[in-house]
A and B are shown apart, each in its own frame.
Chain A
């Protein structure tokens, strides 16, 4: 039955996994945004061959469940890395790659496909008249990007980027299959020690919901603060 005495003790243990989870989520968020932006740029500029490759990439990563991608990375990445490095003549045991690196790479690969879509949408929402105006004023493309394009595109993308941040948080919970300890995995470990399963999972649920609430609040504030008052 549900035991309330254990809650405090359990929650202290599970909260210990929050910083690690957030750190990993943030790393993945930054990496996948960079990769996704590159993808979006390729599609926006319509670079011939790369564009088709990215389309294929997106189709594959949307069709395959994330668990399977993580497992494929877990079993496929170290041998592939080993092979590539041996071609370059570097002697390095890639099978000792820590599991969390593999998880970060796999989730980044998955989320980048979605980030590309988000950023492409934000780029499409950008008014091309503004870039014409900037060019006519003699802006270089670096200036155009920094002063006009980026501030607007980033603002448009904030709500969707928040969602993808939450998705990354949740995707990390699949890491327990390859022994990466995040909030969910920690709640499972705690429960396995004292057999209070439901209690540990309820605590994890509360933690996830609180984090989601805080993240959305921060994003809302940020969006309001950055929006140009007209």
Chain B
């Protein structure tokens, strides 16, 4: 089995995988910011709807979320009178963004709450608006709390990008399946080993990047007792 011949072919599909990952990262981050703000501010009905969204993103398997996006989006698009332009790739991006946003919101909210209560009160008593409070006082401290959890969520996002194959996006996994079928399914185990290495390397790179920021951030780390340290759940998310 010539593994070296297989790797370039697998890597040719990497740009799509990375594109989906980055879209989900960026859109998911924005979604998480919005969702966290809405949940933290406790606006009657909207907060509950956001809670529902977060529990959807967290308690439903990602494969199922992808399928819901794949079959649900065209319906929405047609409802708004547009032509159906949803491809598997777009559905994958939307589905994973929704997943990542919900997951990340549950990293950000504990980080926001972990910031010392006195800091919140001080900012409020000085007449800061919510936005000023976030950007000047609470935000910079919460970043420190959120970074480890953020690193985890990025790693799980990369893991879950491996699932977009099931709705028909032509990512690395799908290419691997093509290669396997061309070889009459002789080398499945070897191909999956190569895939495992590729995904591990991607996770390693992501981890190193987050790690770099984690090591940098103690400069502005808030002085807190150990009890205020939030637990970042080490459990995977599928």
Contact surface of A with B, Cβ cutoff 8 Å: 1-2, 60, 62-69, 71-72, 75-76, 110-111, 114, 117-118, 121, 160, 163-164, 166-167, 169-171, 173-174, 176-177, 184, 187-188, 197-198, 201-202, 204-205, 208-209, 211-213
| Dominant secondary structure at the A interface | helix
Q: Is the CB of A201 within 8 A of B71?
A: yes
Answer whether A167 and B235 are a contact pair too, CB < 8 Å, given A198-B75, A205-B56, A209-B59. yes
The 6 A-B residue pairs whose C-beta atoms are closest, nearest first, are A212-B59, A63-B200, A173-B61, A65-B159, A170-B61, A117-B234
* A contact residues around B71 at 8 Å (CB): 197-198, 201
Q: Which B positions have Cβ atoms within 8 angstroms of A?
A: 55-56, 58-64, 67-68, 71-72, 75, 155, 158-160, 162-163, 166, 173, 188-189, 192-193, 195-196, 199-200, 203-204, 231, 233-238
- Alpha-carbon distance A202/B231, docked complex (angstroms): 32
Query: How distant is the Cα of A164 from the Cα of B163 in the complex, in angstroms?
Result: 20
Residues of A within 8 A of B162 (CB): 65, 67-68
Point out the residues of chain A lying under 8 angstroms from B62, CB to CB: 170
Q: B188: which A residues are within 8 A, CB to CB?
A: 71, 75
Q: Which residue of B lies closest to A208 (CB)?
A: B60
Contact A167 B238 (CB under 8 A): yes
The CA of A67 and the CA of B11, in the complex, are separated in Å by 19
- For the residues of B in contact with A, the DSSP-based class is helix
Rounded to whole Å, the gap between the CB of A32 and the closest CB of chain B is 11
Closest A residue to B160 using CB positions = A65
CB distance B203 to A68 under 8 Å?
Answer: no
B231 adjacent to A121 (CB under 8 Å): yes
Contact B234 A118, beta carbon cutoff 8 Å: yes
Q: Across the interface, name the chain A residue whose C-beta is closest to B166.
A: A177
Instruction: State whether A174 and B75 are in contact (beta carbons under 8 Å apart), knowing that A201-B64, A208-B60 are contacts in the complex.
Output: no
Chain B residues lying within 8 Å of A69, measured Cβ to Cβ, are 196
Report the bound CA distance from A117 to B189 in whole Å: 29
Q: How far is the CB of A67 from chain B (nearest CB, A)?
A: 5
Known A63-B204, A65-B199, A173-B61; judge A167-B236 contact (CB<8 A).
yes
| 20 additional A-B residue pairs with CB within 8 Å, beyond A64-B196, A68-B195 | A64-B200, A65-B159, A65-B160, A65-B163, A66-B238, A121-B231, A163-B233, A167-B237, A169-B61, A170-B62, A170-B237, A171-B238, A173-B238, A184-B63, A198-B68, A201-B67, A201-B72, A204-B64, A209-B56, A211-B59
Across the interface, name the chain B residue whose C-beta is closest to A168. Answer: B238
Minimum C-beta distance from A115 to chain B (A): 9
Inter-chain contact B75/A68, CB cutoff 8 Å: no
Residues of A within 8 A of B64 (CB): 173, 184, 187, 201, 204-205, 208
Chain A proximity of B171: nearest CB distance (Å): 12
Cβ of A6 to closest chain B Cβ, rounded Å: 14
Alpha-carbon distance A210/B72, docked complex (angstroms): 21
Contact of B189 among A64, A75, A111, A187 (CB under 8 A): A75
User: Within the complex, what minimum Cβ distance (angstroms) separates B211 from chain A?
Assistant: 14
Q: How far is the CA of A67 from the CA of B196 in the complex (A)?
A: 10
Contact residues in B for A64 (Cβ distance below 8 Å): 196, 199-200
- CB pair B155–A174 under 8 Å, yes or no, is no
| Contacts known (A62-B155, A65-B160); A71 close to B72, Cβ less than 8 A | no
B59 & A72 in contact (Cβ 8 Å cutoff): no
Return chain B residues, CB-CB under 8 Å to A202.
68
